[in-house]
With several copies, the nearest count.
Chain A
Amino acid sequence: MTLTFEAEKRLGDFVLEARFTSEGGVTALFGPSGSGKTTIVNLVAGLSQPDRGRITLDGEVLVDRAVGVMLPPSRRRIGYVFQDARLFPHLSVQSNLSYGRWFGPRAGRWGDFGAIVELLGIGALLKRRPLDLSGGEKQRVAIGRALLASPRLLLMDEPLAALDRARRAEILPFLERLRDEMKLPILYVSHAVDEVARLADQVVIIEAGRVAAAGPVGTVFADVAADSETGAILTAIVHAEDEIDGVTLLDHPAGVLQIPKLGRRLGTRVRVHIRARDIALAVGEPGRLSIRNRLAARVVAVSEQMSDVAVSLDVGGEPMLARVTRGAQRDLGLAPGLAVTALIKAVALDER
């Protein structure tokens, strides 16, 4: 799937002028409040029209002001989970969920009603009216409604913000499965770096209506790492499962990584997100530590930030960023070229 987006839109004093391309998988829209994320998503859905510009999906022109094309939202087959749930107040939860089924083409329909309802934990709500639902319940129904319309692209505007960790932890893997197994491309607006890093293949960072950075998640987050949480996004291969310890071992050029049991097939290629704060550095042989993941690394660059020091590392050919205090940098003598060990707490990987 390829989404090309190029549009200008003025809303009062705010001007959106953005251009990006998304190549399937999950593309995250990331940016501060009021930067224009919802505006972009609305344009893709067809709920508003750009002043100028062109948006295409898999070669099909959704809108092109130059030639006057504007495909109505109902013909785009683009699902949308709104920032506010927008459930139909006059329909039961059940009817809200199946609404999209009434209209979508029978061919190309996917997604099993029962399975989606169970996953979202809304089975007990089916007979209820949206008005009495709690905030999180509404949002879950909204996710189900969008999915059950069998879209070919899914727009999600902060879909999990209203959910608790446990529920989030259940839904995220499901979204991953949609991405990987159903090959459903998703445009995902979120403030949560860990969500984005876990799900997204690409990130588009929006600031004041413009694209500040765009590209693969590893690169972009490393670029903006000064104030980000991301230390590294490593690609590794599932190598073994240790049933006794309940961990999965991943192969990476710089060493073996232990993470909580994944349940993936051996040989699968996975992406592991490591927060900068979860990375410690050791010079020389570390003592007897509970930290199991020890990757050989080399310091590439050291840059002083406002509050701490960002240490760029090369870990078996992949970039990694660690943040340490000035004191630590001094004591350890961290400087380009130094060989160090990156220590990563295994349990810290459980939600990437």
Chain B
Amino acid sequence: MDGLFTAEEWQAIGLSLRVACVAVAASLPFGIACAMLLARGRFPGRTLFSAVIHLPLVMPPVVTGFLLLLAFGRKGPIGAFLDQQFGVVLAFRWTGAALACAVMGFPLMVRAIALSIEAIDQRLEQAAATLGAGRVAVFLTVTLPLALPGILAGLVLSFARALGEFGATITFVSNIPGETQTIPSAIYSLIQTPGGDGAALRLTIVSVVISLGALVLSEAIARRATRDTRP
């Protein structure tokens, strides 16, 4: 196995996994919250909100990365604030890569979850309320479990996107081996090198296999959980 990849490639694989997992896990709560707002909220500016969420999908990744750099860089307003208040630095760190991946996958996650939430029969939530469940309890015991297919789809989509994302990542946090060089950054470098195609292909296959694993896992969970709940 060891011979299959160079040490740097192993590093990239490990880092990519970490970045993707953290990106997905950290964005999930926000994703669910935004999906609830989109699916249920009726407030002025809802369309604008929806548009903002879709932004990272429309903008070329490099632009997104550049905007992240402007905002979350050490000198950017949010970046400076985070640094001073919490000592959190994103620039040139793997955490920044995770942020970039999270942002890029966010619209995918939100849309999938919102779709599932929209499909929920709200009369079930009413039934829960008559049984004494407050808003939060209804959300946790009825809405969330019934939105599971969308949540899983959202996780898989944004995980896959995180494994494939590189434009925003490299622009925001560079491509530092061991810190921010994820699989796609490594692939990109390889592709730009004459004769690097073979290695690029090997790494691509790694990505694909990993996200295939995520897919299989998510489908297994979905099958278990929704076995008998489909109307």
Contacts and interface: CB of A to CB of B under 8 A. Distances in A.
A102 B127 CA distance: 14
Contacts of A174: none
Contacts of B131: 74, 79, 99-100, 103-104, 145-146, 149
Interface stretch (B24-32, B78-86, B140-148, B202-210): B140-148
A90 B132 contact: no
A149 B126 CA distance: 14
Contact of A99 (B128, B148, B230): B128
Contacts of A99: 128, 131, 133, 141
A45 interface: yes
B133 A103 contact: yes
Interface string A63-99: 0000000001111111110101010111000000001
A77 B132 contact: yes
A45 B130 contact: yes
Contacts of B225: 90
B133 A78 contact: no
Q: Which of the four size classes fits the interface of chain B? A: 20 to 34
B132 A82 contact: no
A89 B141 contact: no
A132 B138 CA distance: 24
B126 A47 contact: yes
Nearest to A84: B123
Which 7 pairs, one residue from A and one from B, show the smallest C-beta to C-beta distance? A129-B228, A103-B132, A100-B131, A73-B129, A89-B229, A80-B130, A86-B127
B231 A86 contact: no
Contacts of A77: 132
B201 to A, nearest CB: 43
B132 A74 contact: yes
A76 B230 CA distance: 26
Contacts of B133: 74, 99, 102-103
B138 to A, nearest CB: 8
Interface string B177-216: 0000000000000000000000000000000000000000
A131 interface: yes
21 contacts: A45-B126, A46-B130, A47-B126, A72-B129, A74-B131, A76-B130, A84-B123, A88-B128, A88-B142, A89-B228, A89-B229, A90-B142, A90-B146, A99-B128, A99-B131, A99-B133, A99-B141, A103-B131, A103-B133, A149-B130, A149-B132
> How many residues of A sit at the interface, in one of the four size bands?
20 to 34
Interface string B55-71: 00000000000000000
B134 to A, nearest CB: 5
A131 B127 contact: no
Given A99-B141, A131-B228, A131-B231, A47 B128 contact: no
Contacts of A73: 126, 129-130
Contacts of A72: 129, 134-135
Interface in B7-27: none
Interface string A98-140: 0110111000000000000000000000000101100000000
A90 B130 contact: no
B130 A103 contact: no
B130 A79 contact: yes
A79 to B, nearest CB: 7
A347 B126 CA distance: 43
Nearest to A99: B131
Contacts of A86: 123-124, 126-127
A90 B137 contact: no
Given A74-B133, A145-B131, A149-B131, A131 B229 contact: yes
Given A80-B127, A90-B146, A131 B230 contact: yes
